[in-house]
Amino acid sequence: MVISILGWVARRRLAVLTAALLTAVALQVVLHVTGTVFAPWASFAVYALPPAALLLCMAVAIRVHDAAHLVARPEIPAFGSPPNPTLVLGAACLTYLAVYGAAGGIRSIEPHPDLGHTIVSIALYLTELAVFWWASRLRTGISIRPDGILDRQPFGDLFIPWDALATPIAAQPHDAHRVTLHLAHPDLTRRRGLRRGAPAALSAAGVRTDLLAWMINHYADQPADRSAIGSPAALTRFLLPLDRLATPEVARQP
């Protein structure tokens, strides 16, 4: 059930962020209009509890997302990283904090008419909020496609065509978050944006590295099977025998 809820959050990220924004703004408007002053325990519930709850959900999402598998996307076609709810929950948490901070800056204008400082503070809050909203709406992560591997990150992409990989061992798990690629032709890799770092180090956030390495090895060594990439049936072929992926030695097998 938790995985289903987090998956819904990731898929409906714009609705979740909009709800967080409207809720935070509505609360600040009500407090300003009514002039309500809460007791300390009530202030904690109003101001600290929603962000704290979102941070707790983020911790759960990180744990669940790190154990996720690739998902089939026939429309691309590709096997891609599952939607990441962590960024969405983080952006929702920051939305509450940014609205609270901006509202506090606006209220401080009357007793302390330092307009310049207030404008700068509000601008910083809104800039942080815009960056987090933008990052949470990006579809980042790994995509295994018929023409190669795409690693999409917020500020740049890395594309590794199949011809750039060495065979039969093209990839192996490096740790829980990275896969090491063996490149026969590194000059064929392509970057876009502000992407830096070695192309042989492939980020695998949100995906099991043993599964990812196994799939890369298979498709690098079996070009005839690449036409099926993106289909649920082809993905099931890798997901069913996950017990075979218990050791790195098995993950290296094509």
Q: What is the pLDDT of residue 247?
A: 40
CA distances from 200 to 143, 153, 181, 182 (A): 16, 16, 5, 7
Tokens (6 digits) for 134: 């933008």
Higher pLDDT, 235 or 66: 235
Q: Is the pLDDT of residue 231 over 90?
A: yes
Q: What is the pLDDT of residue 246?
A: 44
The predicted-structure confidence for 92-124, as pLDDT tens digits, reads as follows 998 988 888 888 777 766 655 566 777 787 788
The predicted-structure confidence for 49-84, as pLDDT tens digits, reads as follows 888 888 888 888 877 765 567 889 999 999 988 877
Q: What is the pLDDT of residue 170?
A: 95
HEC profile for 179-220? EEECECCHHHCEEEECCCCCCCEEECCCCCHHHHHHHHHHHH
The predicted-structure confidence for 182-227, as pLDDT tens digits, reads as follows 999 999 999 988 877 777 888 887 788 888 999 999 999 999 999 9
The residue among 93, 14, 83 whose CA lies nearest residue 52 is 93
Q: What is the pLDDT of residue 245?
A: 44
Cβ atoms of 245 and 251 closer than 8 Å: yes
Angle, helices 85-107 vs 115-137, to 10°: value is: 170
The residue among 92, 91, 93, 117 whose CA lies nearest residue 104 is 117
Most confident of 116-125, 161-170, 174-183: 161-170
The predicted-structure confidence for 11-33, as pLDDT tens digits, reads as follows 888 899 999 999 988 888 877 77
Q: What is the pLDDT of residue 252?
A: 39
Mean pLDDT of 158-172: 94
Is the pTM above the cut of 0.85? no
